[in-house]
């Protein structure tokens, strides 16, 4: 099993509330960016998959907020896989701040479809690239 992929992000002022913590829905944007960079690091950018008629809509998301992230925090967003199966692809995420404090745990559930939104099998080449990141 490989180490989880890590994407780094500096919290911007625009992502924060008046109370100086990251607004709850902004975490979904951070997870999306990290997944995109994860796939890019495997040599399979999202745009390449889309051009080959593979898209991965989110069908469910679970987020557990543990501690607030604040303006100018340096976040490490870890990405791994919790399921890779036929038409399903589930990602596990953890976000930690610069002090190693756990900010968020999340899982996003995806199905593989074509642009016509009909389910289709995950491409075999992608499955092989993802297997080392599967958390058992």
CB 104 within 8 A of CB 63: yes
CB atoms within 10 A of CB 6: 16
Q: pLDDT by residue (tens digit) across 69-128?
A: 999 999 999 999 999 999 999 999 999 999 999 999 999 999 999 999 999 999 999 999
Task: Give the whole-angstrom CA distance, residue 83 versus residue 88.
Answer: 7
Q: What's the pTM?
A: 0.94
CB atoms within 10 A of CB 58: 14
CB 95 within 8 A of CB 69: yes
Domain CATH for 57 = 3.10.129.10
Q: Which domain holds residue 94?
A: 5-133
Instruction: Using the predicted structure, report yes or no on whether residue 3 has a pLDDT greater than 90.
Output: no
CB 56 within 8 A of CB 109: no
Count of domains for the chain: 1
């Amino acid at each position: 099993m490989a180490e989880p992929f890590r994407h780094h992000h500096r919290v911007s002022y625009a992502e924060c509330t008046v109370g100086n913590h990251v607004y709850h829905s902004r975490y979904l944007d951070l997870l999306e960016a990290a997944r995109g960079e994860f796939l890019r690091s495997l040599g399979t950018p999202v745009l390449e998959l889309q051009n080959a008629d593979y898209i991965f809509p989110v069908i469910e998301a679970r987020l557990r907020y543990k501690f607030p992230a604040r303006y100018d925090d340096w976040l490490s967003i870890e990405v791994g896989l919790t399921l890779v199966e036929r038409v399903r692809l589930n990602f596990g995420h953890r976000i930690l701040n610069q002090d190693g404090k756990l900010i968020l745990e999340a899982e996003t559930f995806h199905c593989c479809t074509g642009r016509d939104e009909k389910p289709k099998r995950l491409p075999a080449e992608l499955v092989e690239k993802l297997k080392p990141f599967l958390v058992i």
